[in-house]
Structure 1
Amino acid sequence: MADTTVTRNENESRYDVHVDGELAGFALYEIDGDRAAFTHTEIFETYQGGGIAGTLAGEALADTASRGLTIVPVCPYIARYLDRHEVEGATVAPPR
C-alpha cells in the first residue's frame, strides 16, 4: 500500500499530495481575509484513478476548516467533493 501524505505549502498557496515521497498533485487556494477559495485541483496522470484526489480534498478542506477559514469552492472538483462529503466544522460559501 502506498504512503500518501498531504501538506500545506504556504509558499505556493496550495496543498500538495505526495505518494511514496513523490509529488502526485496539488490543490491551489487563494486567501482573502477569512476566506479560502479553492481554485484548481490537479492529480498527475500517473496517479489518477487511485483515490488520491479525494484524499487531497478531504485533508485540505479539513485543515482549512480547522483554521477557521470559510471554504469557497471555485474548483469544480472541490465543489463536488463538498456536495458528497461532510467536512467537520467547515463553513462553505458560494464563489462571489
Structure 2
Amino acid sequence: MSFLVEENPAEHRFEILVDDALAGFTAYVPRGEVLVFTHTEVDERFQNMGVGSALIRGTLDQIRARGGRVVPRCPFMAAFIERHPDYADLVTVDS
C-alpha cells in the first residue's frame, strides 16, 4: 500500500491518496502563513490502517518544509501533535 499526501489549495485541504484512491483529507482555513485546521476525515474503507496518522504526518512535514505554522482546531490533528511532540513547534495561537 502506498500513501501520497498532497495539498489541494483550491479545496483548502491536504489529501491522502492510497494506491491512487482518495482516502481522506484534512481541511484548513488559510491565515497567511498560518493554516487553521478544522476537520479531518478518512474514508471508512481506510480507517484503522494508519491512514489518518500518515495524512497528518505528511501534512505537518510539508508545512514545516515551507516554514508555515498551524492552529490545530481539529481534535484529530491536536491529538496527533500531543502524541508526537516533535511537531509542537509548528503550533501557534489563532489571533
Normalization by structure 2: what TM-score? 0.90
Q: How far apart, in 2, do the equivalents of 1:80 and 1:40 lie?
A: 13
Contact 1:65-1:71 within 8 A present in 2 as well: no
> What's 1:5 paired with?
4
Q: Determine if the alignment matches structure 1 residue 58 to structure 2 residue 57.
A: yes
What value does the CA root-mean-square deviation take over the aligned residues? 1.5
Q: How far apart, in 2, do the equivalents of 1:21 and 1:6 lie?
A: 11
> What's 1:19 paired with?
18
Secondary structure, aligned partner of 2:36: strand
5+ long unaligned stretches in structure 2:
none
Identity %: 34
Normalization by structure 1: what TM-score? 0.89
Q: Which has the higher helix share?
A: 2
Structure 1 runs (4+) greater than 4 angstroms displaced? none
5+ long unaligned stretches in structure 1:
none
